[in-house]
Every structure is written in C-alpha cells, then in structure tokens.
Structure 1
Amino acid sequence: MEKQIINPWKWQDGRSYVQAVEVKQSQSILYCSGQAAVHADGQSSTADMRAQLIESIQNLEKVITEAGYTCNDIVRLNVYTTSTAELFTCFDVFQAWIAKHNIKQATTLLEVKSLFETLTVELEATVVK
C-alpha cells in the first residue's frame, strides 16, 4: 500500500489530523463501526468523558488488531461526542494515542445530541493495508 498525505497548510498539525489521505495499491479495507465505551459484557459505560475516550480507543484497537490491521493503517477517523467542550478537556488522551501509533488520518469531529444509552464519545475508523 502507498499512502500520500495532502496538507496544503500547517495549522492542522497541532490538531492531530491531516487534510486528506490518498491510498494507492491497497490490499484490503476495513470499515469499523463506531466504537464506544461498551464493556465486554455489553454494558455501556457511565464513566466520565476521559474514561470513556480511553475505553473507546481500547475497543477500536481491539477490533483493528483482531482483523489483522494496525492502528497506523487508519486513514479516516470520525469522532462523535455529546460535548466537544468536555472532549477537549481530555483531548491529550486522543493526541497521545495518535502520536503513539504515528497515525495520519483525515478526521471529522461532530457534536451530536446523544449517543446510545449513557455513552459520550464514539470513534468510527476506516483502515487500509
């Protein structure tokens, strides 16, 4: 697979995303459903935003690795949250995870009225290898 990052500007670098990712000669594509802080027993988390973000990341990693991909293969990551203001108080968690895996992804962040049950953040990824 060949990935090319398209960034006409520099300002997005501090926000942990890129403007576009072009993928050529890929072997396969994994479309992940939104991953949220749902425990292994199917119970939705009632924890705060930081804890839910951490668990959402862990759940997304589990799906990606069990499918035989790596987090570095993420090319698109949509973030849904019930409060962007609250999410930004723990955005360091997101940015550290992006840096740890050297992910260069196109991202859309959306504030929504609600998510399933008690959930406050959900991550939806497209992964290519």
Structure 2
Amino acid sequence: MEKRIINPWQWQDARNYVQAVEVKNVTSTLYCAGQASVLADGTSSNADMKTQLLQAIENLERVISQAGYACQDIVRLNVYTTSSKELFAHFDIFQDWITKHGIQQASTFFEVKTLFETLSVELEATAVK
C-alpha cells in the first residue's frame, strides 16, 4: 500500500490530522462502525467524557486489531460528540493516542444532539493496508 499525505497548509499539524490521504495499491480496506464507550456485555457507559473517550479508543483498537490491522493503518477517523466543550477538555488524550500510533488521518469532528443511550463520544474509522 502506498499512502500520500496532502497538506496545503501547516496549521492542521498542531491538531493531529491531515487535509487528505491518498492511498494506492491497497490490498484491503476495513470500515469500522462507530466505536463508543460500550462495555463487553453491551452496556452503554454513563461515565464522564474522559472515561468514555478512553473506552471508545480501547474499543476501536480492539476491532482494528481483531481484523488484523494496526492503528497506524487508519486513514479516516470521524469523531462524534454530544459536547465539543467537554471533548476538547480531554483532547490531549486523543492527540497523544494519534501520536503514539503514528496515525495520519483525515478527520471530521461533529457535535451531535444525541448518541445512542448515554453515550457522549463515538469514533468512526477507515483503515487500509
């Protein structure tokens, strides 16, 4: 797989995303459903934003790993939240995770009125290899 990052500017670098990712010679693509703070028994978390973000990241890593991919294979990562203010208060957790795995992804952040049940953050990814 060949990956090319397109960044006409530099300002997005501090926000841990890229403007576009071009992939060529892909052998497989993984489209992940939104991963949120849902426990193994299917119970939706009612914890605070920080705890839910950590659980959503853990769940996304688990799906990606079980499919035979690595986090660095993520090329698209959309974030849905019921509170941008609360999410951005813990944005360093998200940025540290991106940096740790060397992820270079196109991203869009959405503040939505509601997510399923008591959820406050959801991560939707596409990975390629």
Give the structure-2-normalised TM-score.
Answer: 1.00
Give SS of 1:65's match: helix
Give SS of 2:64's match: helix
Alignment of 1:1-129 (within 5 A): 1-129=1-129
Instruction: Give the total of aligned pairs.
Output: 129
Shift of 1:59: 0.1
Shift of 1:63: 0.2
Gaps in structure 1 of 5+ consecutive residues: none
* Structure 1 moving runs of 4+ over 3 Å: none
In 1, the alpha carbon distance for the partners of 2:31 and 2:50 equals 25
Shift of 1:89: 0.2
Give SS of 2:53's match: helix
Identity in percent: 70
Shift of 1:65: 0.3
| Superimposed CA distance per residue, residues 43-93 of structure 1 (whole angstroms, 9 cap, x where no aligned partner) | 000110000000000000000000000000000000000000110000000
Give the structure-1-normalised TM-score.
Answer: 1.00
Task: Quote the RMSD (CA, aligned, Å).
Answer: 0.3
